[in-house]
Amino acid sequence: MKEEKLQELLDSLSMVEKIGQLVQVPGPVLEAQGQELGVRDALGISEEIIQNVGSTLNVVGADQIRRVQKAYLEKSRHKIPLLFMADIIYGFRTVFPIPLALGCTFDPELLKKLCVATSKESVAAGAQVTFSPMADLVRDARWGRCLESTGEDPYMNCRYAAAMVEGFQEGLQEEGAGKGMASCVKHFAAYGAPEGGRDYNTVDMSERRLRQEYLPSYKAGVDAGCEMIMTSFNTVDGIPSTGNKWLMDDVLRKEWGFEGVVITDYAAIAELMAHGVAEDGKEAARLAMEAGVDIDMCTDCYANNLEALIREGSIDETQLDQAVMRVLRLKNKLGLFEDPFRGADAVREKEEILTPKHRGLAREAAIKSMVLLENKEELLPLCREDFQGEKKIALIGPFADNRDALGMWAIHGDKDAVVTVKQAFLENIAPESLVCTEGCETMLAEDYTDLLAFYEQTGKAAWSTEKRKGEMERALALAAEADVAVLALGESELQGGEGGSRTKLTIPGDQLELLRRVRKCARKVVVLLFGGRPLILDEVKELADALLLVWYPGTEGGHAICDVLFGSREPEGRLSMSLPRSVGQMPLYYNAFSTGRPYDGKTPIRFFSRYTDCDNTPLYPYGYGLAYHKAAYGPVHLDSHTLDREGKIEVSVEIANESSRAGMETAQLYIQDMAGSVVRPVKELKGVCKVFLEAGEKKTVTFQITEDMLRFYGKRLRYESEPGKFRVTIAPDSSCQLQEEFNLV
């Protein structure tokens, strides 16, 4: 439909019909089944608005969507189709590793491919908008939603956010093609920085930090053309995002030129009252409208108050019109006026989901995101041939043979399609070489008192004392008779994700005890660690011979784990988040500011910026990960030590594969601005290059440094570089020393 036609359509709408476009309701309101993952009171909106609502969420499935759309349109005067949005975060039916794991791939192109695949599956099943990517920077492992973020680094987060938007939206511009889905970047802004790591809590930081570290990834999503932005639940400088005009209007629309739709997070307009910035729903609606929020997700605030606000002149009707027009434009862009079902088709849906191609991608992504943290005496890879009847593996642990491999936000994922570790083992080794048992539960009752309702939904029940004892003994007996004990341990899916903040970050339940006891009787111990956030691994590090962080690896997790364990592939992941020694270190991130009393980590002197009971450093740094090949990085070389503003310098390093195995290196470029008008981080990632080296091969990796890479928000809060001295290095992880210097003139 042409813009003039859309304008005519808008002009023909009554006030109620316009307001309806800005209201989103959960599936049940439209007699549809939809997952609900929020706290919601009965909506209390009129039948008239319900008949005119603009969108719904988490209603998926071609048949269902066709039925709901058809019923809706039959009653609709103007035949404006409903928009179907959904939380399709890291895969639809085929589930990929969680985003924090994907962050470990250092491969934005791969993420793009995964999003193209996700959009194919979702579109066939009728979904039109996805609430992904989550571009929130994370630094605090207590926050359960770390799992949905790509990590702690602004540079990588930008690249990932852009790649994901491009992937989801691929094909969207092709008129009438019914390809691609609209991507909604969230949660604008800084949702990943709640105080104390407690979900939905206050966020308060300087504008400099916000702009420098937190905003860039959302902006990268906007620059990549995302059609939608979701507000965050938190405050930014005392004002909740959903009513924050500075954020939504000045920054997002005016500075960044965003022309798409702004939607709230779940019930966030009503939460303006709970925050205490609005006395009632009417004031909340006014604040959100003034801020430039278009769609109200699942409250009655817009539905029941906008008309009165307009009639009394508190809100200008043109503002309403602009918001409605943005929604109509999106529907038009998606081709809904031509085909309200967008080709949703149950047959195609079946054909498109869980295809061998998508499963292959899931396996590849899982391999590339697993991080090998320890490999003492090169225990891994295990030799497949040894386990064809001769030697034995004891596969033990709550994750050994269950399908809890998807993580909390894979709400549309097909759990039955998950390949378990045990299943995959049996494809690799002889049945007589494998013994398997759970050993213990993932959590004990005291770990999940708050999660009880969710726990019961999983169909699991707490073990009796007898069963606990019996299983532990059985596990120890199996471990004692095997050549290798492989322990599949981790955090319960219920403990992470939204509303999954924790203060204790050790592996829950009896699992650590199981590891301690297995260690005593087993010859070799490999730990496969499942989870969605950095956990405290100091003890595990000591006890395990090999430690492989597999995260929630997704549908093909079992296969990918075996590919890595038996050496068909290398573990390719490098940490997207620093792993702490202690919860007390939170927030922990490699790119911190220098302090006036930097601690050298050696002399235990009191009056330095340090803890008296714990190192400042992480247990494993950002960017870290072992491989099966062994590479050595030579000295860094600069082609010039002076950088002109219009020029470039080249920095290079020779990397030598000193092993007899080929493998992939993830070379990381780190730069430090030695002195600025404001304090600068000790180092910042500015480039990444994945380079494949044959056994014994040497390759030179070169990065170009240009002035724009050195910009930051200085004293005047302008994004610009400052002349002076910089240090630089290329290294395998962020714990590196910066080696060379150059001057920006």
Rounded to whole angstroms, the Cα distance separating 710 from 715 reads: 15
Beta strands in 144-247 (DSSP E): 182-188, 228-231, 235-236, 239-240
Kindly state the smallest distance separating residue 455's Cβ from ligand NOJ, in Å. 21
In the region spanning residues 495 to 514, those forming contacts with ligand NOJ, defined by CB under 6 A, are 498
Among 522, 569, 517, 520, smallest CA distance to 548 is for 569
36 versus 539: smaller Cβ distance to ligand NOJ: 36
- Under 8 Å CB-to-CB from 459, ≥6 apart: which residues? none
Kindly state the smallest distance separating residue 183's Cβ from ligand NOJ, in Å. 12
Respond yes or no: is residue 265 known to be catalytic: yes
Our finding on whether 186 is near ligand NOJ (CB under 6 A) is yes
266 versus 713: smaller Cβ distance to ligand NOJ: 266
Kindly state the smallest distance separating residue 57's Cβ from ligand NOJ, in Å. 6
Kindly state the smallest distance separating residue 264's Cβ from ligand NOJ, in Å. 9
Distances in Å between the Cα of 684 and the Cα atoms of 404, 541, 674 are: 35, 27, 12
Kindly state the smallest distance separating residue 189's Cβ from ligand NOJ, in Å. 13
In the region spanning residues 57 to 116, those forming contacts with ligand NOJ, defined by CB under 6 A, are 57, 87
Our finding on whether 37 is near ligand NOJ (CB under 6 A) is yes
Rounded to whole angstroms, the Cα distance separating 160 from 157 reads: 5
Hey, what are 723's tokens? 């002349």
CA 61 to mean position of chain CA atoms: 24
Kindly state the smallest distance separating residue 131's Cβ from ligand NOJ, in Å. 4
Task: Report helix, strand or coil for 526.
Answer: strand
Our finding on whether 199 is near ligand NOJ (CB under 6 A) is no
Alpha-helix residue ranges (DSSP H) falling in 486-628: 511-521, 538-543, 557-565
Exactly one of 72, 84, 90, 131 binds ligand NOJ (CB under 6 A); which one? 131
87 versus 271: smaller Cβ distance to ligand NOJ: 87
Rounded to whole angstroms, the Cα distance separating 448 from 431 reads: 35
Our finding on whether 326 is near ligand NOJ (CB under 6 A) is no
Rounded to whole angstroms, the Cα distance separating 232 from 239 reads: 11
Phi, psi of 400 (to 5 degrees): -65, -40
**Which H or E run contains 275?**
helix 271-275
Kindly state the smallest distance separating residue 692's Cβ from ligand NOJ, in Å. 36
Kindly state the smallest distance separating residue 658's Cβ from ligand NOJ, in Å. 45
Our finding on whether 198 is near ligand NOJ (CB under 6 A) is no
DSSP annotation string for 457-512: HTT--PPPHHHHHHHHHHHHHHHHHSSEEEEEEE--GGGSSTT---S--SPPTTHH
Inter-residue contact 525 to 545 (CB < 8 Å): yes
Inter-residue contact 159 to 170 (CB < 8 Å): no
200 versus 742: smaller Cβ distance to ligand NOJ: 200
In the region spanning residues 243 to 272, those forming contacts with ligand NOJ, defined by CB under 6 A, are 265-266
* The residue type at 706: T
Inter-residue contact 248 to 291 (CB < 8 Å): yes
Residues binding ligand NOJ: number (CB under 6 A): 9
37 versus 205: smaller Cβ distance to ligand NOJ: 37
User: Per residue in 560-585, is it b (16+ CB within 10 Å) or e — as a string?
Assistant: bbbbbbbeebbbbbbbbbbbbbebeb
Q: Cα Rg for the chain, rounded, in angstroms? A: 26
The one catalytic residue in 87, 153, 265, 300 is: 265
Active site residues: 265
> In the complex, which residues of this chain contact ligand NOJ (CB under 6 A)?
37-38, 57, 87, 131, 186, 265-266, 498
